[in-house]
Structure 1
Amino acid sequence: MSGLGVSSKRPASGSTTAVAASKQLPAAVVERVTAAIDESRDELIALVQDLVRIPSENPKLSGIADGGEARVQDRVEAALAAAGFSIDRWDAEPGRPDLVGTLKGTGGGPSLAVNGHIDVVPAGDPETWPYDPFGATIVDGMIWGRGASDMKGNVGAMIHAAVILQRLGIRLKGDLYVESVIDEETGGPGTRSTIERGYRPDFAIVTEPTGLVIYPVEGGLEWLRVTVTGVSGHSARRYRSVHAGGQGHAVNALEKGAKILAAVQDLERAWAVRKVHPLLPAGITTINPGVMAAGSGGGANGMPNIMTAVSNMPDYCSLELSLKYLPNESTADVRAEFEEYIHRVAQTDEWLREHPPTIEWGLRGVAFPPADTSPDHPGVQAIASGLTALGMPVEVGGFLAVTDIAWFAEAGIPAVIFGPAEGLGAHGADERVEIN
């Protein structure tokens, strides 16, 4: 999953609800499929090990030109092609391929995409790992290595599940798309590229590790920058600017930025009371201040050209924020609400009234739209039926991080986040996936 949010693999207390499946799967089909999966256990383990052993660090995070994603896609292609899937492979970015394997349906049924990403975050120093980060070592019933839980284990599982259906001759009415994509970890074009290429399923499952909790909703996420300008001056003459009738003309942009920051924190507290969602914990609509910088003049990257010193009154201040909003809110409405609030705050300050703050949205490309699939959607009910057939509880919750479900939602495609495993050690030096 993307490092741009925080996920509880089991949601916070009160943020899940049990649902009943609307249909029952034929017992004979369930028995055939589960028996075939049990019998091919070693095949699945070997596939996951192969995927983990191929380094595919996201080049945007690792700084290397070739993160190895193409070599992972070679292995994915081999598994799907051998089972009779038609293969479509293209570069979502130069040298970074997406891959979709298609199993055509018999007709008359809805299409389904199962989607997983094969880029991983950098492994870091191998000496900090208990085992080789790209060794896929099996210890204590777990496969250890970078990407094992996030999310090559589940990519292997979704491929293997699709292959088993084909192997058993179980024909689906609708088309099945197995999507292996790049660049999820930085919110890149992987899944969006599949949609732009024409893969628009009736329903999609993003197979991140959720512990088999169904997540049909996910809030939106925006990174933004609020910039305030002032008039520079020397601190020795500050006394001329801080009392009525003073002759100074300096305006400390850092102080004006602090006023904006305090107001943003007030807004965050108000949202925590007013904005609620039945599948998400209270207070999820956070506005986190991550960076505040002041100095002389604004550079192209939003930072001051010269960082301030205590002897100066800076004329430039930027405040970078991470803003989360509810699944049932629109991006446009949230942006408008925030901008109107900042405008009202500026009206209370003589300087800011005439020199209003500017707001830049989608900072560094981070702008994830929300996802809000109904728990009553037939796709959610179908997953519930599968869990019920296996004698497992059905839980529906709200996801706290951001994932590629955002891009399906943006395209108007109903989708959920759902997959086995618990995401053990994801992004850490103890990443592993349980063999169960």
Structure 2
Amino acid sequence: MTRDLVAHAATRSASVVGLAKELIRRPSRGGLDDYEPVLSVLEDWLSARALPHRRLRDGAGELVGLLVEIAGGRPGAWWTLDACVDTAPFGDEEAWSFPPTSGDVVGGFLRGRGAADSKLAAALFCHIAEDLLPHAAELRGGLAVLLDVDEHTGAFGGARAYLKDAEAATPAGVMIGYPGMDDVVVGGRGLWRATLTVRAESGHSGSSRTVLGAVSRAARLVQLLDTAALPGRPEAGALFPLPPKLSVTAVHGGEGFSVTADRCDLNVDVRTTPVFDARDAETLVRGVAAELDAELPGPAATQVTPLASWPPFQLQPHEQPAAAVLEAAASLGLTVRAKTAGPSNIGNLLAGQGIRAIAGFGVPYAGLHGIDERASLAELPQVYTVYHQAVRALLDAA
């Protein structure tokens, strides 16, 4: 079957690239552009091929994605292919050597914002759905293709709307089409985020009376947070290979020169692991805040306001859908590692719902989230084959 799929993928590549070009030419920067144009391109393509699909909206009624659903003719689990069609901002457009919405192919690379992350994957997944539709009666369970937006904002509105949709079958697993051929991301650290509010007496900076302002108290708090004790890097062979990490990512306080600030706010990001979870993170940060208040008392206790929390997640290579993708890659002679990543992704959101997820198998790329984003097309038939073969294996097609 692998040889037949490779030949099939080669014949389909031009069509995949054609759809991806049209998507790139519709700017869809997360939180900046209207998503209607890029999603309409997909709707037109799906409708022309009689692929069942519908719009997804968030709680405010905003359009946040499309969902393609192909129900199998036999009982079984549902599996999902997911690719976002919103993108990062363009950045400094004058620094680009081509327009960010060019959507052309030069030197074997598809060029433009979203080429790598993840409009090419969206086009590929739509084609796989088209391939499977005539064989739906033979499939177990079903295949969903989530074409989501509001991803690059960090709100993950499309994924959240999918999970809340009462009509959608809950998937057993999700394959997220981020680019890169070296790894399949099977896990990631979780996160716990909070804002810390430090207070102090305000006063004139030129006063003869010494006033320790909120900015100075906050500076000491940053020192305490930066030196807080966290578990070290796990020993070789540990199931979860990454340690937790704490970062102070923003400080806001004060104005002008003549007044010492009475308030300063800090953003704290803690990356969590199975041995140091969100509860541990909150306990540590609150303990450090209490240490500051004991060392440099202020008019009010330092306030800790939690903002977000996701659990870490990790699949073992023998668990689905990781196994299906890794086995399909191996059948083509590709060497692909199972990787646990430092940053979080939609997999963490899915893990919180008990849904297994992998991410990160796609074509090689350059300029992701930077200037001159582009995706290599030479490897597209291999990537197409891997996903097609993996989905067929998961759905137990006859």
TM-score range, shorter chain: 0.7 to 0.9
Whole-angstrom CA distance in 1 between matches of 2:251 and 2:154: 24
Counterpart of 1:90? 56
The one of 205, 226, 244 aligned to 1:265: 226
Counterpart of 1:355? 300
The answer to whether residue 320 in structure 2 is matched with residue 378 in structure 1 is yes
The one of 250, 254, 265 aligned to 2:215: 254
Counterpart of 2:26? 54
Paired letter, 1:357? T
Counterpart of 1:414? 356
The one of 246, 265, 268 aligned to 1:318: 265
321-330 vs 215-224, which deviates more?
321-330
The answer to whether residue 373 in structure 2 is matched with residue 431 in structure 1 is yes
Give the conservation status (yes or no) of the 8 Å contact 1:218–1:327.
Answer: no
Unaligned runs of 5+ in 2: 379-398
Whole-angstrom CA distance in 2 between matches of 1:35 and 1:339: 59
Counterpart of 1:403? 345
| Distance verdict in 2 for CA 1:129–1:236, change over 3 Å | closer
Paired letter, 1:359? V
Aligned pairs for 1:385-400 (under 5 A) are 385-400=327-342
Displacement, 1:428?
A: 1.8
Whole-angstrom CA distance in 2 between matches of 1:361 and 1:35: 52
Counterpart of 1:229? 199
Whole-angstrom CA distance in 1 between matches of 2:104 and 2:66: 27
**Helix, strand or coil: the match of 1:351?**
coil
| Distance verdict in 2 for CA 1:57–1:293, change over 3 Å | closer
Counterpart of 2:2? 30
The one of 310, 314, 331 aligned to 2:278: 331
The answer to whether residue 76 in structure 2 is matched with residue 130 in structure 1 is no
**Helix, strand or coil: the match of 2:266?**
strand
The answer to whether residue 142 in structure 2 is matched with residue 196 in structure 1 is no
Deviation digits for residues 306-364 of structure 1 (CA, Å, limit 9, x no counterpart) = x152x443322222233222266543342233223432x13642615x732101222xx
The one of 343, 346, 359 aligned to 2:292: 346
Paired letter, 1:431? E
Give the conservation status (yes or no) of the 8 Å contact 2:72–2:137.
Answer: no
Give the conservation status (yes or no) of the 8 Å contact 1:209–1:420.
Answer: yes
Whole-angstrom CA distance in 1 between matches of 2:304 and 2:186: 31
Paired letter, 2:184? I
Q: Give the structure-1-normalised TM-score.
A: 0.77
**Helix, strand or coil: the match of 1:134?**
coil
Displacement, 1:219?
A: 1.3
Deviation digits for residues 52-104 of structure 1 (CA, Å, limit 9, x no counterpart) = 1122122x2x3xxxx24222222223333444432121323544241111111
Give the conservation status (yes or no) of the 8 Å contact 1:187–1:404.
Answer: no
Q: How many residues are matched? A: 373
Paired letter, 1:332? R
The one of 175, 191, 194 aligned to 1:205: 175
Give the conservation status (yes or no) of the 8 Å contact 2:74–2:138.
Answer: no
Displacement, 1:404?
A: 1.7
The answer to whether residue 189 in structure 2 is matched with residue 219 in structure 1 is yes
Whole-angstrom CA distance in 2 between matches of 1:53 and 1:326: 40
Whole-angstrom CA distance in 2 between matches of 1:34 and 1:166: 19
Whole-angstrom CA distance in 2 between matches of 1:252 and 1:396: 49
The answer to whether residue 245 in structure 2 is matched with residue 293 in structure 1 is no
Counterpart of 2:391? none
> Which structure carries more relative contact order (alpha carbon 8 Å, separation 6+)?
1
Paired letter, 2:19? L
Deviation digits for residues 372-418 of structure 1 (CA, Å, limit 9, x no counterpart) = 33333132112222112212123100123332222211211111113
Unaligned runs of 5+ in 1: 1-28, 242-249, 296-306
**Helix, strand or coil: the match of 2:73?**
coil
RMSD: 2.7
Give the conservation status (yes or no) of the 8 Å contact 1:286–1:325.
Answer: yes
Quick one: percent identity of the two aligned structures?
22
